């Protein structure tokens, strides 16, 4: 309030004869003192805000997970150096006259420097994240292509084997039939591996049945056309071409 009113009073005093000039000088001196006090208090408050911001940024860096690569570590090291330099500048500013205009400009420069580093850090991190995501997608795409090639090769081998040695029919939990060569059904372990191949696709049904396999929540049964009986481990040697094996989730009724 006083700083706003004093310039007006100073202008009025200059128009008063004889005493106007001394009064104007006195008002100017008082105004300068008030401005110095205001600048001191403002600079002190700004230094406090700057200190809190530096402490908060330092804590965030300390609590961040380890850098995933050398590029990220380099960014963090650069940011830490900036924080250390700014902290050293703050120590110097506290030792100077807080009422001076250069101190005000220096504090503003510290805030600008922090903002600039933050913007560069975030932009660099974003570019690195986009690059990493692209690389992951390329790897996943290649892996999927390799899996598809392997699946096609196994299916081709299975078809050729079926033509030579005969097959059994596996009915999965959704009622779909799958022809499997007899020599892939000579043991429980072999048949389990075939299930993993059959349920390799990304459909919802395959995902659910794959989960049953992984958790062991399933049974095998033999369907002889008249009844369905559970298949036990000692009966594996009796499985021959033309046998119909039913894959059931544990707890399902053995009924056709």
Asked if the model's pLDDT at residue 61 lies above 70, the reply is: yes
80 close to 136: Cβ distance less than 8 angstroms: no
How large is the average pLDDT for residues 120-138? 85
Question: Hey, what domains does the chain have and what are their CATH numbers?
Answer: 2-138 (no CATH), 166-249 (3.10.20.90)
Asked if the model's pLDDT at residue 11 lies above 60, the reply is: no
Backbone angles phi, psi at 177, to 5 degrees: -90, 140
Q: How confident is the model at residue 32 (pLDDT cuts 50, 70, 90)?
A: low
Task: Return all residues near 7 (Cβ < 8 A) that are at least 6 apart.
Answer: 31
How large is the average pLDDT for residues 160-182? 75
pTM comes to 0.43
pLDDT at residue number 13 = 45
pLDDT at residue number 235 = 61
Least confident of 20-34, 60-74, 157-171, 238-252: 20-34
Asked if the model's pLDDT at residue 255 lies above 50, the reply is: no
Asked if the model's pLDDT at residue 77 lies above 80, the reply is: yes
Asked if the model's pLDDT at residue 175 lies above 60, the reply is: yes
Give which of 105, 101, 100, 78 is closest to 89, Cα–Cα: 105
Higher pLDDT, 206 or 58: 58
How large is the average pLDDT for residues 73-102? 80
Secondary structure letter of residue 58 according to DSSP: H
Asked if the model's pLDDT at residue 17 lies above 60, the reply is: no
Mean pLDDT of the chain: 75
pLDDT at residue number 31 = 57
CA distance 188 to 193: 9
């Amino acid at each position: 309030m006083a700083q706003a009113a004093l310039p007006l009073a100073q202008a009025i005093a200059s128009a008063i004869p004889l005493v106007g000039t001394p009064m104007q000088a006195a008002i100017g001196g008082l105004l300068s003192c008030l401005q110095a006090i205001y600048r001191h208090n403002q600079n002190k408050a700004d230094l406090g805000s700057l200190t809190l911001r530096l402490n908060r940024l330092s804590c965030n860096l300390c609590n961040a997970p380890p850098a995933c690569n050398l590029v990220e570590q380099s960014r963090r090291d650069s940011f830490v150096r900036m924080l250390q330099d700014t902290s050293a500048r703050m120590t110097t500013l506290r030792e100077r006259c807080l009422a001076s205009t250069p101190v005000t400009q220096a504090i503003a420069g510290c805030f600008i420097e922090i903002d600039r580093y933050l913007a560069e850090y975030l932009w660099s991190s974003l570019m690195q994240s986009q690059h990493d995501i692209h690389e992951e997608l390329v790897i996943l795409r290649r892996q999927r292509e390799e899996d598809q090639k392997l699946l096609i090769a196994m299916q081709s081998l299975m078809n050729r084997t079926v033509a030579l040695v005969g097959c059994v029919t596996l009915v999965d939990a959704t009622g779909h039939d799958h022809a499997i060569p007899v020599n892939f059904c000579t043991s429980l372990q072999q048949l389990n591996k075939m299930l993993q191949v059959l349920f390799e696709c990304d459909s919802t049904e395959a995902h659910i049945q794959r989960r049953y396999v992984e958790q062991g929540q399933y049974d095998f049964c033999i369907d002889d056309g008249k009844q369905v009986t559970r298949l036990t481990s000692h009966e594996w040697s009796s499985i021959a071409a033309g046998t119909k094996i039913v894959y059931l989730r544990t707890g399902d009724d053995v009924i056709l």
